[in-house]
Structure 1
Amino acid sequence: MTLPQDAFKTAYKPKKNETVSKIESSLDKLLVKLVHLKDAIQSCLCNLWTKYLPQIGKLKSINYASSKAFIKRYKWRILIILILLYAGSKTYDYFFPAGKKASGPQTITSIVVEKKDVPLIIEATGTIVSNSIVDIRPMITNTVTKIHIKDGQEVTEGQLLFSLDDRNDKANYEKLKALADDSQKQYLRAKELVAKNFISKAGLETSLANAKSAQAAARSAEVQLSFDLIRSPINGRAGIINVFPGSFVQASNAVISSTNASATSTTGSMVTITQLNPINVQFVVPEKDIPIILENKKADEPLKVKVTVGNTGKTVYEGQVLVIDNQVDPAIAAVRVKAQIPNEKMELLPGQFARISLNANTLKDALAVPTQAIVISPTGRLVYVVDKDDKVTAKPVKVTYEYQGNSVVTGIQAGDRIVVEGKQNLRTGSKVRESKISKGPAPAAPANNAPASEQK
């Protein structure tokens, strides 16, 4: 089957320049000769097949001996045919290379790389903890006479919570107060007598010591009386009240509540006051990320955090780090960090599970590209850079930071145009064209959410 000459001539368009026209004319003639050569080769092969087919058909069986005899007899003809086929294939590939035979440029989506500041984000999980929490316990063993608050009530510092039976303590205080007042009067009378030389100075000093001792005893009784009025030491919310009017309470460090068929008795915490606004969140940072946060901490810049609670993540609470622990826990190779966040609506409670994004540092003038633009090859990671002629070149890159679909890389320059989508079948030197509708994401840095960061 012969190829029409017009198919070769359409690949070349004549120009006004005579030299170019002569070159094109020579190429056309050469291509015509190649077509005739191809036709001659095909005709020769057909003649050989027609001539020797009957002889091959007469062979009852093809074995090694007959094949060897056939090749030995017609070896020069077979060699010439193979040389002609090889020369024709190479000539065809020379004038019609694989690149020119391709279907056309590959459609891609690309972006232009720009320098920008990229925050280093460390992601962690933690627990909501109270900024201040106090278990209210009695200082003395006594009986509750009145409860001045309700379960879950908001209380302020100094607000009266419980009243205990103070009859005995009040009587003791009044007794000691009267003795203190009497001792003070005797001391004043002794001063007058010393001035008139009715008593010695030693008697005056004894009177002064008795007055001071009586006053100290009165103040001690007053303190003991104050234990019968239990007040809140902080602002916060009261929890469930564990005692009732008439309950017998004891001074204890352990919270013990026991219930039987007749009553509930409590030794220890009568109620717990929890400060909810502001509230804290506690989490751990991996050991490998400690230098990053300490470097920013030395610059006296507050470390910002963003906290979400629950699976919805609709509400984001912004705060800052309060303290980084002074030692690493060797069991988990991490350091504890505590941050504080506002809680005006009282929606957060201690013990809740939280997700934390810590803005540990900022990479200045970094080159951020979409992670999907990076190709993982046997030799490493690379990106395809498009030149001004719309041809791509594979350039190796090194990823220094990766977070939420964006990667900070080295190995390329600002202003380079890199392929984001359509890179599957690309090779160095491939021709590409930009998609009319860009679907590739811009290389935006994660501004308001880190990995924990991932250093590579």
Structure 2
Amino acid sequence: MSKIETFLNKLLIKLVNGIRTLKSRLCALWQQFSPQLKKIDYLTAKTFILKFRWRILFVVVLAYAGLKTYEYFFPTADKAGGPTTVTTMVVEKKDIPLIIEATGTIVSNGIVDIRPMITNTVAKIHVKDGQEVKAGDLLFTLDNRNDTANYEKLKALAEDAQKQYLRAKELVAKNFISKAGLETSLANAKSAQAAARSAEVQLSFDSIRSPIDGRAGIVNVFPGSLVQAGNVVSTATNSTATSSVGSMVTITQLNPINVQFVVPEKDIPVLLENQLDGEPLTVKVSVGDSGKKTYEGKVLVIDNQVDPSIAAVRVKAQISNDSMTLLPGQFARVSLVANTLKDALSVPSQAVVMNPKGLFVYVVDKDNKAASKPVKVVYEYQGTSVITGIESGDKVVVEGKQNLRPGGKVREAKSKAADTKNTPVADKK
């Protein structure tokens, strides 16, 4: 019980005790002064009332307020008047999904900034702005004349060194040269082959390929642009500036795509409990103000630590983006199905009433009389509350409860469908 409820209960008890004490004192005063009241004439009574008028008014107001307070917290079982019109529903057991709502951001499943490994000029561009590319597709070709010539030179030297080594093997067999000469020839051949492979790798840097599947962004270079290894990419931007900082192009994987969001610390045990069961958690994601289209996906990972600054844990989920309508950086609304409450009893949240004693609902019995039942709200989502304290099949009052008191008679309001059915329809012209 909260401190406010405890304070209200104590205040109510003091008020009731005060009323009872006042009542007993008034009775004692009546017994004491009743013999003298017969001797009081009109003039004496008038003088007494005028003299103590403010005290008499205070006692009357206090007594009236105490009476109304007592009737409110301890209503009588039966009251005069007809039955109260209410709307009810029959409670049934059903499975209720436990949903956690959050906001997050659409993030790419893979994003790569294409930058050169060497300093060179762009010879040819094979990709267009916004083009879909596959892993291994050729994006840019740099000026490879010098690297090609160097590779061919070292390749020829490696082939010659290999031939010299084979010839040295034949001469050793005929004892024309020593084994030391053969080992030197072998070392020269291996060194030449390594140099040729290094030149081949250097030559491969002139052909820039896509490392992942995805969509190309805006191409930031042109044929003839000087590009440098690192983060600086030279490009002709206008008549006075010829360099800018950025990548040659950015490849972004859009399908599938991820959404990243945070879950409050209090909901972490529910997430981890369901994760241990081996079943991946499902999410529904909507983007934009309309929220007409919903994307479904699965949770990939729950972060291994809580961010103490926001008391929440990061969660990443993957969703399908076949239509390519989702882009990284978009704001997203996420509904995470964390668990399922089996055989739960749910009622509209408006059916739950709160008073100083706690939460309760009105239940209608077979005699059409209302009775209050204390309940506990286990979970609430979008106007529906899962409660305990009632049984399956109970008829719970949803509307009209503001005029009800325990033991009061009720009658069911006519349904809107019946009213619509009985309403005459105008003839169409």
Note closer, same or farther for the CA distance 1:140–1:268 as it changes in structure 2 (3 Å cut): farther
* Paired position in structure 1 for 2:58: none
Deviation of the 1:368 alpha carbon:
1.1
Letter in 1 for 2:189: A
CA drift of 1:378 comes to: 2.1
- Does residue 139 (structure 1) correspond to residue 117 (structure 2)? The answer is yes
User: Could you report, residue by residue, the CA deviation over 1:16-74 in whole angstroms, capped at 9, with x for unpaired residues?
Assistant: xxxxxxxxxxxxxxxxxxxxxxxxxxxxxxxxxxxxxxxxxxxxxx98437579xxxxx
Match of 1:289 in 2: 267
Structure number with greater Rg is 1
Give the direction of change, closer, same or farther, for the CA distance of 1:306–1:100 in structure 2 (3 Å limit): closer
- Per the alignment, residue 227 of structure 1 pairs with 205
Aligned partners of 2:233 and 2:243 also within 8 Å:
no
Aligned twin of 2:340:
362
Provide the residue aligned with 2:160 in structure 1: 182
TM superposition score normalised by structure 2:
0.78
Secondary structure of the residue aligned to 2:177 is: coil
Corresponding residue pairs, total: 350
1:203 aligns with 2:194: no
C-alpha contact (below 8 Å) 2:221/2:234 kept by paired residues: no
Q: 2:230 matched to 1:252?
A: yes
Aligned mates of 1:378, 1:256 — CA distance in 2: 73
List alignment gaps of at least 5 residues for structure 1.
1-61, 70-96, 440-456
SS of the equivalent of 2:414 reads: coil
Partner of 1:347 in structure 2? Answer: 325
User: Structure 1: how far apart are the matches of 2:259 and 2:286?
Assistant: 11
Of 420, 433, 454, 2:398 maps to 420
Return the alpha-carbon distance in structure 1 between the equivalents of residues 45 and 287 of structure 2.
86
Aligned mates of 2:46, 2:222 — CA distance in 1: 113
Q: Alpha carbon RMSD of aligned pairs, Å?
A: 2.1
Per-residue deviation, 1:314: 0.8
Question: Which one of the candidate residues 411, 417, 421 is aligned to 2:389?
Answer: 411
Distance 2:324 2:245 in 1: 30
Matched, 1:110 2:95: no
Letter of the aligned partner of 2:108 in structure 1?
Answer: S
Distance 1:333 1:257, change over 3 A: farther
- Distance in 2, Cα, partners of 1:438 & 1:282: 44
- Return the offset for 1:437: 1.0
Matches within 5 A, 1:263-278: 263-278=241-256
- Aligned-pair distance for 1:436? 2.8
Q: Distance in 2 between matches of 1:367 and 1:228?
A: 68
Structure 2 SS opposite 1:224: helix
Secondary structure, aligned partner of 2:310: coil
Deviation at 1:200? 1.4
Q: Are the aligned partners of 1:250 and 1:268 in contact in 2 as well (CA < 8 Å)? A: no
Query: Cα deviations across residues 192-240 of structure 1 (Å, max 9, x unaligned)?
Result: 1111111111111111111111000000000000000101111111001
Deviations 1:361-381 (A, max 9, x none): 111121111111111212211
The yes-or-no answer on 1:432 pairing with 2:410 is yes
Which residue of structure 2 aligns with residue 335 of structure 1?
Answer: 313
Structure 2: gaps of 5 or more residues: 1-40, 49-75, 418-429
Secondary structure of the residue aligned to 1:339 is strand
Bigger shift: residues 248-257 or 196-205: 248-257
Q: Where does 1:4-83 land on structure 2 (aligned, <5 Å)?
A: 64-65=43-44, 67=46
Q: Go from structure 1 to structure 2 and tell me whether the alpha carbon gap of 1:370 and 1:182 turns closer, same or farther (over 3 Å shift).
A: same
- After the TM superposition, which of the residue ranges 406-415 and 298-307 deviates more from structure 2? 406-415
Instruction: Verify the 8 A CA contact 1:305 1:318 in the aligned structure 2.
Output: yes
Q: Distance in 2 between the 1:168 and 1:66 partners?
A: 126
